Amino acid sequence: MFKGSMVAVVTPFSNGKFDEKRFCDLIEWHIAQGTHGIIPCGTTGEASTLDFDEHYRVIEVAVKTVNKRISVLAGAGANATDEAIQITKKTKELGADGALIVTPYYNKPTQEGLYQHYKAIAEAVDIPIVLYNVPGRTAVNMLPATVARLSELDNIVGIKEATGDMRQASDLIRLCGDNIEVYSGDDFTTFAMLALGAKGGISVTANIAPKAFADMYNAWAAGDINKARDLHFSMEPLNAVMFIETNPIPVKTALAMMGKVEEEFRLPLCRMAASNRDKLQEAMKKIGLI
């Protein structure tokens, strides 16, 4: 259902408010560059600092701007199951193609708790659901056996796997088979996960280099493995510098350097340290982004 290079798009701010024009311009740029899907209100979109009205408005603008040209998989997670159901219902109402739902954070549910959480959402809202496993953010790791159980539910169609653990990714794809689609959640693992059977990646770095990531997936899908591998290696220095500080600080700073957004975050996120900013700028210059 979802495939290819999917961008976990930033949320531009201007004077503390959601900058709708910049956001629409970003989406149009991504579509022109070959991006296969847009993910608003994810980690990279600073969803945790958006209030409900802002969250829904970002999704609404994304859906209207995309206008069915590519997929819109909207972030709809929360650490309380009832709240996640509320957001997911609104996501469906706003016309998103699917809901990306992160594992509950901070409260550290058991594997059974994770199963019951997603089962409750899937039964409450008839929308395609993509699970999101990112233990570095949430302090809980959803294990492949739990995902395999969830893959039996009809509207759970995929998982964004962001552990960076290739053994876990391999086990996940092996256990789930064709029941759900698996997507890389870490840019440095996307090429390797495609080889294991993943259907694409949900990318941070593609915010600033969308064509390279779309071309990598397209080359892989066409059987041109050498080209896909070359593109993977060419992006690795950029992938590394995207995480020298907490995401989305580096990628949003990079977009500001490119003139595409204001360099504005919401606390507790803040501007990059000068030394890291220099490293980011150097990496971008080396591949001609600035």
**DSSP readout, 72-107?**
EEEE---SSHHHHHHHHHHHHHTT-SEEEEEPP-SS
Q: Which two tokens stand for residue 284?
A: 């971008």
Q: Which residues are catalytically annotated? A: 132, 160
- What's the rounded Cα separation, in Å, for the pair 57 and 74? 11
Contact of 109 with 81, CB cutoff 8 Å:
no
CATH topology of domain 4-224: TIM Barrel (3.20.20)
Alpha-carbon dihedral angle through residues 273, 279, 285, 287, given to the nearest 10 degrees: -130
Structure confidence at residue 1 (pLDDT): 80
Q: What stretch of H or E contains 58? A: helix 52-66
Q: Which two tokens stand for residue 38?
A: 């847009």
For 102-154, the pLDDT digits (tens) are 999 999 999 999 999 999 999 999 999 999 999 999 999 999 999 999 999 99
Number of Cβ within a 10 Å radius of residue 154 = 10
Q: Which two tokens stand for residue 108?
A: 């550290």
Structure confidence at residue 183 (pLDDT): 98
Q: Which residues contact 161 (CB under 8 A, 6 or more apart)?
A: 133, 168, 169, 172, 182, 183, 184, 185, 193, 198
Structure confidence at residue 16 (pLDDT): 95
Number of Cβ within a 10 Å radius of residue 100 = 32
pLDDT-flagged residues of the chain (< 70): none
**Which of 1, 43, 45 minimizes the C-alpha distance to 22?**
45
**Which of 125, 123, 286, 130 minimizes the C-alpha distance to 209?**
286
Q: What stretch of H or E contains 133? A: strand 129-133
Structure confidence at residue 39 (pLDDT): 98
Please report, for the chain, the start and end positions of each structural domain, with discontinuous segments joined by +. 4-224
- What's the rounded Cα separation, in Å, for the pair 9 and 228? 23
Q: Which two tokens stand for residue 85?
A: 């159901």
Long-range contacts of range 148-154, CB-CB < 8 Å, 24 or more positions apart? 148/175, 148/176, 148/179, 149/115, 150/115, 150/118, 150/119, 150/122, 150/180, 151/176, 151/179, 151/180, 152/179, 153/118, 153/119, 153/122, 154/122
